[in-house]
Amino acid sequence: MAEQGTPLAGFTVGITAARRAEEQAALITRRGGEAVLAPAMRTVPLADDARLRAATRSLIEVPPDTVVATTAVGFRGWLEAAAGWDEQDALLERLRGARLYARGPKVTGAVRAAGLREDWAPASESLAEVLARLVAEGAAGRRIALQLHGDPLHAFRETLTAAGADVVAVPVYRWLPPLDPGPLDGLLDRITRRTVHAVTFTSAPAAASLLARAGERGVLGPVLEALGHDVLAACVGSVTAAPLEERGVPTLQPERFRLGPLVQLLCDELPARAAGR
């Protein structure tokens, strides 16, 4: 039994994140667990990408009614890219004229640092809540700018489009497979051998990439079997969980879209699962 304050003692957790992976690992080890770093993706900034510039120009020419800012680093990256094209002032003018929804406090901070003010931010920090609000308000006829951070958010965009919105995706970063797949391959092996108790996911592309790599290596079936029964798939939110749940993998998610609640979920769930066996 884990000592008080170390509820993860005896448990091993795989981390698929690239961003803030060390911070997540520190939270796990501080609670007695072993963290296995295995980034499933890497991000590449698109400051010179034609798609980002085209989206920015489109929004300057035809202003959005609503802007959804999803990540602080992505929002700042968008403004920095616009500055490089001498278009930041024009972009900021358009953003000031729109209703601005910030997904969480860090994004809110980035928004305010740019001299803007958010109109609303969900207490849950969940994109699912943002989507629900947009649909409930009536998306038909609205031009909605959606700042992406690697994850293309296909389901989010498709729901708004089906509701009659004109959605302009702003792809600030591109997600690519890791340069060195060795750590990810090692995690896949540990999943199939059940020598890892849980795997955390903080983005849908990371979940999709892990499954794609498993398919490339011919171990997708065993990985899905392990994640479906013995290895806990802990996701930071419902959007992140979608690629796994589409494959029939059950997932657990904290109430808040943050690393702290995600690790607390592990602290609550892993000892309970072990006690029930």
Tell me the per-residue pLDDT of 49-88, one tens digit each, with 9 for 90 and over: 788 999 999 999 999 999 999 988 889 989 988 998 999 9
Distance (Å) of CA 86 to CA 93, 137, 147, 170: 13, 34, 19, 18
Question: 44 forms bridges with which residues in the sheet?
Answer: 174
Percent of the chain scored above 90 by pLDDT?
Answer: 75
Q: How far is it, in rounded angstroms, from Cα 239 to Cα 202?
A: 9
Across all residues in the chain, what is the average pLDDT? 92
Residue 275, class by beta-carbon neighbours within 10 Å (0-12 exposed, 13-18 middle, 19+ buried)? Answer: exposed
Residue 127, class by beta-carbon neighbours within 10 Å (0-12 exposed, 13-18 middle, 19+ buried)? Answer: buried
pLDDT confidence of residue 84: 87
- Residues 6 or more apart from 66 whose CB is under 8 A from it? 98, 99, 100, 101, 134, 142, 143, 144, 145
Q: How many CA atoms lie within 13 A of 78 on its CB side?
A: 33
Q: When comparing pLDDT for 277 and 185, which is higher?
A: 185
Answer yes or no: are the C-beta atoms of 173 and 41 closer than 8 Å: no
- Residues 6 or more apart from 46 whose CB is under 8 A from it? 52, 81, 171, 172, 173, 174
Q: When comparing pLDDT for 175 and 236, which is higher?
A: 236
Q: What string of H, E and C letters represents the secondary structure of 133-153?
A: HHHHHCCCCCEEEEEECCCCC
Domain 12-41+177-275, CATH: 3.40.50.10090
Answer whether residue 127 shows pLDDT above 50: yes
pLDDT confidence of residue 4: 54
Answer whether residue 225 shows pLDDT above 50: yes
Q: How far is it, in rounded angstroms, from Cα 205 to Cα 150?
A: 8
Residue 272, class by beta-carbon neighbours within 10 Å (0-12 exposed, 13-18 middle, 19+ buried)? Answer: exposed
Over range 89-98, report the average pLDDT.
97
Buried-exposed string 32-47: b where 16+ CB fall within 10 A, e elsewhere: bbbbbbbbbbbbeebb
Residue 107, class by beta-carbon neighbours within 10 Å (0-12 exposed, 13-18 middle, 19+ buried)? Answer: buried
Percent of the chain scored above 70 by pLDDT?
Answer: 97
pLDDT confidence of residue 3: 47
Answer yes or no: are the C-beta atoms of 15 and 37 closer than 8 Å: yes
Banded pLDDT at 211 (limits 50, 70, 90): very high
pLDDT confidence of residue 276: 76
User: Look-up: residue for tokens 């769930």?
Assistant: 269
Tell me the per-residue pLDDT of 151-196, one tens digit each, with 9 for 90 and over: 788 889 999 999 999 999 999 887 789 999 999 999 999 999 999 9
Answer yes or no: are the C-beta atoms of 134 and 66 closer than 8 Å: yes
Domain ranges for the chain: 12-41+177-275, 44-174
- Residues 6 or more apart from 157 whose CB is under 8 A from it? 146, 167, 169
12-41+177-275 and 44-174 in the same fold: yes
Banded pLDDT at 47 (limits 50, 70, 90): low
User: Which pTM was predicted?
Assistant: 0.72
Nearest one of 144, 200, 153, 159 to 172, comparing CA atoms: 153
Return the CATH fold of 44-174. Rossmann fold (3.40.50)
pLDDT confidence of residue 2: 46
Answer whether residue 15 shows pLDDT above 90: yes
Q: Please work out, in degrees rounded to the nearest 5, the angle formed at the alpha carbon of residue 268 by the alpha carbons of 221 and 102.
A: 85
Over range 228-249, report the average pLDDT.
92
Phi-psi region of 124 (alpha: psi -120 to 50; beta: other; left: phi over 0): alpha
